[in-house]
Amino acid sequence: MAALEKNDPPGEGVKWRFPSVHPEGRKFAVIAAAITGVIALVGWQTLAWLMLGVTAWVLAFFRDPIRTTPRSERFIIAPADGMVTLIQSVPAPKELVAELGEGHFTRVSIFMSVFDVHINRTPIAGTIKQVVYIAGKFLNADLDKASEDNERQHFVVERNDGAKVGFTQIAGLVARRIVPFVKAGDIVAAGQRIGLIRFGSRVDVYLPAGTAPKVALGQRCVAGETLLGIFGDNESVCGIRL
């Protein structure tokens, strides 16, 4: 989403611009560009053009666009860009039971392809109560069992009134590193960046009891903007079956 230029007067609209590249990705872009330059100097022009495309893709993969997050303490916002591939009623991961409690939660899974933005954001404002990293496999992140088998990182965020939301970054077939930006005890705003996953992955969100999802299977989400649920609102949108 574009932002207002510093000199844009109110009511004059906005100007589109290329999203910035997150610092985590700049080193990869530099490496790709250097390889492109060497290949071009050697004279392998066809391969050089291919590597130029790879460099552009790396820059695009680590893009960090500006997002405008809806403001309400009741809103639970999508933490990831991508497609909703699973909506299921499941128990909380055993690593999160101490914070979230026993019982079943509605798990909304958002799959990020290698073409999606991979900066993840917190779904609510509050305090990071828990960050738990679990080493694991690198199965296709679109599979249900990826929630239990793959490399993953759990988060729990607690609002000032004690309400909590848990969510999990899950590495996929190509992803080989989950990078956190926050730690337990940090205070975050809704939609704040909390980490990223390289390169293609998934994020699961555990909606609390009595909160129905406001997204449907196949729907595209925008991190920091799409409404996933409203605390205490158990009316599902059309097309959802739990």
| Active site positions, annotated | 201
CA distance between the termini of the chain: 33
Query: What's residue 45's pLDDT?
Result: 82
All CATH 2.70.70 domain ranges of the chain, comma separated, are 75-230
User: How far is residue 194's CA from residue 187's CA, in Å, rounded to a whole number?
Assistant: 11
Asked whether the CA dihedral 93, 96, 102, 108 is positive or negative, the reply is: negative
Query: What's residue 149's pLDDT?
Result: 62
Query: What's residue 206's pLDDT?
Result: 96
Query: What's residue 172's pLDDT?
Result: 65
Query: Tens place of pLDDT for every residue, the chain, 242 residues?
Result: 444 444 445 556 667 666 777 677 677 778 888 888 888 888 888 888 888 888 887 777 778 888 999 989 999 999 999 999 999 999 998 899 999 988 899 999 999 888 888 889 999 999 999 999 888 655 555 555 555 667 889 999 999 999 999 999 987 665 557 888 999 999 999 999 998 887 668 899 999 988 999 999 999 999 999 999 999 888 877 655 55
Query: What's residue 2's pLDDT?
Result: 40
User: pTM here?
Assistant: 0.79
Please state which CATH class domain 75-230 belongs to: mainly beta
SS (H, E, C) the chain: CCCCCCCCCCCCCCCCCCCEECHHHHHHHHHHHHHHHHHHHHCCHHHHHHHHHHHHHHHHHCEECCCCCCCCCCEEECCCCEEEEEEEEEECCCCCHHHHCCCEEEEEEEEECCCCCCEEECCCCEEEEEEEEECCECCCCCCCCHHHHECEEEEEEECCCCCEEEEEEEECCCCCEEEECCCCCCEECCCCEEEEEECCEEEEEEECCCCCECCCCCCEECCCCCEEEECCCCCCCCCCCC
